[in-house]
């Protein structure tokens, strides 16, 4: 099943939170996202101040999760525990809840 954009953003944040600052290719493999899509998503996460782009040495660029990114990741974890996601087609909402 395909991941939504939101799930991919969260996966990228998780990788950066657990593995520390990483180069683009390492994020690509760990988050299972192709390069062009990853660049687009990283740009968005940087604009939202959830990820920081850092230069190490003269040329090497790495990406790290920001404090705001850690907060967002924490909120998603809490939300996931409070609202368990039911796979599509597995269960239906009882008629009494309409």
Q: What angle do CA 29, 33, 34 make, to 5 degrees?
A: 95
pTM strictly above 0.75: yes
The answer to whether residue 74 is domain-embedded is: yes
Q: What is the pLDDT of residue 93?
A: 53
The answer to whether residue 97 is domain-embedded is: no
> What CATH number is associated with residue 20?
1.10.10.10
The answer to whether residue 96 is domain-embedded is: no
Q: In this predicted model, what pLDDT tens digit does every residue of 2-32 receive, in sequence order?
A: 888 888 999 999 999 999 899 999 999 999 9
Number of domains into which the chain is organized = 1
- Over 60: is that where the pLDDT of 68 sits? yes
**Taking a C-beta distance cutoff of 8 angstroms, is the pair 8, 40 a contact?**
no
* Structural domain range at position 56: 5-82
């Amino acid at each position: 099943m395909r991941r939504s954009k939101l799930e991919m953003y969260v996966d990228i944040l998780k990788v950066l939170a657990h593995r520390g600052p990483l180069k683009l290719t390492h994020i690509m493999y760990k988050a299972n996202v192709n390069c062009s899509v990853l660049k687009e998503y990283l740009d968005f996460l940087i604009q939202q101040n959830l990820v920081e782009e850092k230069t190490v040495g003269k040329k090497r660029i790495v990406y790290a999760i920001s404090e705001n990114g850690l907060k967002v990741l924490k909120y998603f974890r809490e939300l996931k525990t409070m609202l368990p996601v039911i796979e599509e087609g597995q269960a239906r909402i009882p008629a009494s809840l309409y």
